[in-house]
Amino acid sequence: MSEMRELYQEMILDHHRHPRNFGKLAGANRHAEGYNPLCGDHVTVYALVEGDVIRDLSFEGTGCAICMASCSLMTDALKGRTIAEAEALFGRFHDLVTDDNATADEEVLGKLAVFEGVREFPVRVKCATLPWHALRAALQRTVDQSVSTE
């Protein structure tokens, strides 16, 4: 089990050091900011949505390793999915990091399963879920949105 935990930690650190989909998305038609005052995480999520499909996603901002890795892995996982699929995956991800009885179903969550250990550190749950809340706000409206974990 400790080998698996080390692998998970390495993946989180890799996505923190080398985030995927980082930067403002040209052509984005939706975006929202997220702020976590407890940790200082501040992210903006950009989406290009056509119909009900998320064609492209990116983010920019600063934050702790968990928040930045969550942004990076989230954007990878949701490109090309429908808004309904994104909502469902958000629900599974949220359960993973908050519910002691949830299991990391890698078939559904893919690489997002690396966040399973976050629930052991309740203060870090907000770090992991902040990008998801920002994306959700962006997808629910076409105007600028802002969310906070206060």
pLDDT digits (tens, 9 = 90+) for 80-91: 999 999 999 999
Mean pLDDT score, 129-149: 79
Q: Which long-range contacts does 84-87 make (Cβ < 8 Å, 24+ apart)? A: 84/52, 86/54, 86/135, 86/139, 87/136
Q: Please tell me the pTM assigned to this model.
A: 0.87
Residues 6+ apart with CB under 8 A from 22: 58, 59, 60, 71, 72
The answer, yes or no, to whether residue 8 has pLDDT greater than 70, is no
pLDDT digit string (tens) for 11-57? 788 878 888 999 999 999 999 999 998 889 999 999 999 999 999 99
Q: pLDDT tier at 93 (50, 70, 90 boundaries)? A: very high
Mean pLDDT score, 85-111: 85
Between residues 10 and 139, the one the model is more confident about: 139
Tokens of 144: 């600028």
The confidence score (pLDDT) of residue 5 equals 63
